[in-house]
Structure 1
Amino acid sequence: MPIPTGRLVPTDQGYDLTLQRTLPVAIEHAWDYITESQFTERWIGPWEGVGDVGETIKLYLAFEEGKPGFKVEILECQAPEHVRVKTLDDTLPWDLAIELTQPEGQTELQFTMRDADPSTIGEIGPGWEYYLDQLVAIVAGDPAPDFDDYFPAQRSYYEDQRPS
């Protein structure tokens, strides 16, 4: 089983879920995997639309049953370091950000799900662990992980972080 690393971090507005990964490529190449549909389709799913700030794209979750699609608004984008989006689904109104930095030739990725709901963190946390590990595997040319190694195995790790 992969070791979970995400953290539920208290903020002034509630809680953020944060996860970090290291990508073994230069920041410009890592940026392509975060923002270009032909690369995102390899680890989370393809998207269609205009990829500019203020625009709405449709992202398809290629590794979920039925490959559902949903609208995503691009809130912020500063290539190649920062992108922030918000899902426009009534059931999944998620505010997501990725920050990239490049110390010593690799790219450090920090993923943040702003205002994460602690009551659902046991289901959401393992999913993001899986997707980010899949991103690392694809970039490194390694075999993709198996979701069954993440859920429900990592559920208790995340549930233990819920505020009391």
Structure 2
Amino acid sequence: MTTTPTGQVDGDKLILTRIFRADIDDVWASVTDPERTARWYGAWKGDAAPGRTIQVQMVYEEGAPWTQMRIDACEPPSRLSLSSIGMPEEWRLDLLLSHADGRTELRFVHHLTPSDGVGEVGPGWEYYLDLLVTSRDGGAQPDFGDYYPAMKAYYEGLTT
């Protein structure tokens, strides 16, 4: 599978976009329902509400670790904001959805910090977002080797 990096950096934001021919509520369920997130990122458990913490299992990472994420904002079906807790890097993420003309756009934003290695983070999110796409359309699961280190130089070039 040939992959092309799609992310852009705008200030301290790494932004990746995917378009779906689907209703916004259906795409929202793909990024919030634990049974559906398990298909592309990992299942989660806990009391999901703004200000609360959930546990997320990162099934495609070595050892499938559980991590804690705080829900900073949840505005169905258009905005979900999360922050990692207890990870070596503190990540702040926004998933922003909009719908027009039968298509839903997912704008994924990773708020970069000086310690984030965009050369590693960018390819990782490309991989996970493509897993989201294939979980929805039934396509072949991508190979992480097509993303990293293949996309590393592209992403490092965005911050120079």
TM-score under structure 2 length normalisation: 0.95
Cα 1:49–1:89, aligned 2, differ >3 Å: closer, same or farther?
A: same
Q: Distance in 2 between matches of 1:138 and 1:24?
A: 14
Task: Please tell me the residue identity of whatever aligns with 2:37.
Answer: T
Shift of the alpha carbon at 1:61? 0.3
Task: Determine if contact 1:24/1:140 at 8 Å carries over to the other structure.
Answer: no
Cα 1:88–1:158, aligned 2, differ >3 Å: closer, same or farther?
A: same
Q: Which residue of 2 aligns with 1:110?
A: 107
Q: Distance in 2 between matches of 1:35 and 1:92?
A: 23
Residues 37-76 of structure 1 mapped to structure 2, 5 A cutoff: 37-76=34-73
What RMSD over aligned residues (CA atoms) do the two structures have, in Å? Answer: 1.2
Task: Determine if contact 1:118/1:162 at 8 Å carries over to the other structure.
Answer: no
Task: Please tell me the residue identity of whatever aligns with 1:6.
Answer: G
Shift of the alpha carbon at 1:137? 1.3
Shift of the alpha carbon at 1:138? 1.0
Cα 1:143–1:99, aligned 2, differ >3 Å: closer, same or farther?
A: same
Shift of the alpha carbon at 1:33? 0.7
Shift of the alpha carbon at 1:151? 0.4
Task: Determine if contact 1:48/1:57 at 8 Å carries over to the other structure.
Answer: yes
Residues 2-151 of structure 1 mapped to structure 2, 5 A cutoff: 2-10=3-11, 15-117=12-114, 120-151=117-148
5+ long unaligned stretches in structure 1: none
Q: Distance in 2 between matches of 1:152 and 1:53?
A: 36
TM-score under structure 1 length normalisation: 0.93
Cα 1:79–1:65, aligned 2, differ >3 Å: closer, same or farther?
A: same
What is the aligned counterpart of 1:155 among 149, 152, 155?
Answer: 152
Shift of the alpha carbon at 1:118? 7.1
Number of equivalenced pairs: 159
